[in-house]
Amino acid sequence: MRNVDELRKLMVLEEVPMECIITSDVKIREVHEDDPGLRSLILSVGRNGVIQPTFGRPVGDGPQRELIDGLHRWFASGKNGRATLPMQVIPGLTDDEARTLQFTLNVATVNQSKKEQRDHIKVYMTHNPLLSKRKVATAFSMSPQQLSNVLALEKLIPSASAALDEEAISFSHGLVLARVPAEVQNAAMDHIGLPIEDFNTKVKELNKEFKTGIKAPEGPTAKLRTKDSLIEEMERLNHCVETSTPSDEDYVANGSALQAIKWTLQLDDASLKERESKKAAKSTANLEKREAATLAKLKKMEEQMEKLRAEKAEISGIA
């Protein structure tokens, strides 16, 4: 896939009739008529026309052009009744190249809110599912860690997300909030005026209160048994079984519990037999390995002796 600099060399500036323009299925930013920025753009286009050309590509062999970048300029031109739209047209642009160019141009020219940035990245990842995190981050001039941080903000509750977009809280405050459940975020919003260090400490306290405040289920609590305690229990049960008879009330229960512990510790007859078999096989393999190494050494020594005999015979012949 060609990069943006290579594509710029192919651009041809055209005045494209408005009726020949179709918009892209992928829209980085939707058009909202109540957006003050859009209203200002409409007034500017009405007075001065479109100063910065849009970008597009041919559709088939006809006069139609697909708008790749410049949706708001196209909308403002329509509102002002303009007949044409200046467009840098790039012939032979593939779908992947069109999407990459669209995202790259928006990253470079749009002053996005944090939410718009997240939405922008999600759309890009949806249309490029095979790209690695590093390549996605590079497309947005970020490090992989910065990309992860931006995507983590998706977990913010609406009020926290709005506060971040309005710059009522810092990016660091948003990351601290994104790590905790929604209930804790709600409680932490009362403390967003704190410095980041104090805020982080407060959120940790609230999160701990939230976790410890959850009522534990009723009934016995499972207890993790150590190996030593299991061995002691096995010895106790073994004594009980040996000193009792099948007619005793707890004989079967103790025997079952004893067998269960043996299985857990792999001390039952089958496990012991398998272990001995593996041990014997390992010993045999080690002996065979040592035998092979010894035979190899003997062979090498014989070859050296044969070489020495040959040299001695050669010397004797010369003498």
232 DSSP β-pair partners: none
Give the model's pLDDT for residue 233: 83
Which amino acid is located at 207 in the chain?
N
In this structure, what token pair is assigned to residue 274? 């398998």
State the DSSP H helix or E strand holding residue 67, giving kind and residue range, or none if neither: strand 65-69
Contact 106, 28 (CB under 8 A): yes
Query: What is the maximal distance between C-alpha atoms in the chain?
Result: 116
pLDDT recorded at residue 75: 92
Judge contact between 209 and 232, C-beta under 8 A.
Answer: no
Instruction: Report which of residues 139 and 309 the model is more confident about.
Output: 309
- Token look-up 């200002």 returns 40
- 212: confidence class by pLDDT, cuts 50, 70, 90: confident
The residue to which tokens 């390992």 are assigned: 282
Q: What is the mean pLDDT of residues 278-297?
A: 89
At 267 the three-state DSSP class reads: coil
As separate numbers, helices (DSSP H) first and strands (DSSP E) second, the chain gives: 14, 5
Distance CA 259, CA 269 (A): 10
* One-letter amino acid for residue 60 of the chain: G
Please, which pLDDT band fits residue 137 given cuts at 50, 70 and 90?
confident
- CA distances 65 to 8, 91, 94, 290, Å, are 17, 10, 14, 78
List pLDDT tens digits, range 42-92: 999 999 899 889 999 999 889 999 998 888 899 999 999 999 999 999 998
* Residue 16: per-residue pLDDT: 94
Amino acid at the residue 23: T
Return the residue matching tokens 């400490």: 201
DSSP secondary structure of 192-238 = TTS-HHHHHHHHHHHHHHHHHTSPPPSSPPP-PPPHHHHHHHHHHHH
- Which domains does the chain possess? 1-110 (3.90.1530.10), 227-267 (no CATH)
Percent of the chain scored above 70 by pLDDT?
89
Please answer whether residues 9 and 74 qualify as being in contact, where contact means their C-beta atoms are separated by less than 8 angstroms: no
Tell me what pLDDT residue 215 has.
42
What percent of the chain has a predicted confidence (pLDDT) above 90?
Answer: 20
The model's pLDDT over 166-185, given as tens digits with 9 standing for 90+, comes to: 778 888 888 899 999 999 99
Handedness of CA 145, 150, 155, 156 (dihedral sign): positive
Is the entire prediction scored with pTM above 0.85? no
Residue 116 or residue 91, greater confidence: 91
Q: What is the mean pLDDT of the chain?
A: 82
